Amino acid sequence: MSTTGASADPLAALGSLPGVADSVESVRKAVDRVYGHRIMRRRSNEITSEAALRGARGSAALSGADWALEEVRRRTDFSGDDESRVVGASLRLAAEAGQLLSIWRQSPLRVLARLHLVAAADNGDTVGRPRRHGEPVDEPLVELPLPDATEVAGRLEGLSQLIIAGGSAPALVTAAVVHGELLALRPFGAHNGLVARAAERIVLVGSGLDPKSVCPAEVGHAELGRAAYAAALEGYASGTPEGMAAWIAHCGRAVELGARESTAVCEALQRGAA
């Protein structure tokens, strides 16, 4: 992660990049529209459950398993092939993320380890810990240069300290940095994209921006498409102010699209069509 200059609160410094304040405000308005919907006052649990399902589908699509929503809803066995396992991992992470909110601010590295363990769903000796020197990474959809294990350890520790310290950065900025840093580092042998997007969701919910988890950014990331996602991530990895701002704006647009998705679900419930 790079910032535009020395700062006691580098995440907050990113909030001053050109266009970022506009993205933050646009996201806030989109989230407020969902929370202001009359259906949210009576059936918010249903909206939360549906958002989790749709978010899991979107995250899996970005990791190469682009299934129709109804197929994800219908299926009960996710062990058959690689795509099935990706969808299953994404669903497990969606269910697990809400259980880790209280731990995140005290021990983000512990949460990341748990997310990887849940995604991998096995007890191999590479599961639930950052990769070591010489260990391979299976993340074909991210083509950025792969940092070595020493850099990964140092940057993870730095990210952890920023989260624990807190600060005045908007939730969108923190969520985008957590997401981008994990994808750029790919600290685990596999499932890094799924883990990064689950961590983004934890930040958005735990920050209070989306406390009921009804604005699934994963839906928006999938809707914007894998090519746009990869291009925005390259901007983040460049560390330039323009690249960082573009990545934050991309993440902001994804949250807005997730909010729009849940607004549509609210309206369908209101019409009695869902």
Chain segment 43-91, per-residue pLDDT in tens: 999 999 999 999 999 999 999 999 999 999 999 999 889 999 999 999 9
Residue 8 pLDDT greater than 70, yes or no:
no
Q: What is the pLDDT of residues 107-159, one digit of tens each?
A: 999 999 999 999 998 878 889 999 999 999 998 789 999 999 999 999 999 99
Burial string for 133-142 (b: 16+ CB within 10 Å, else e) reads eeeeeebeeb
pLDDT at 6: 45
Quote the CA–CA distance of 40 and 23 in Å, as a whole number.
24
Quote the CA–CA distance of 19 and 137 in Å, as a whole number.
34
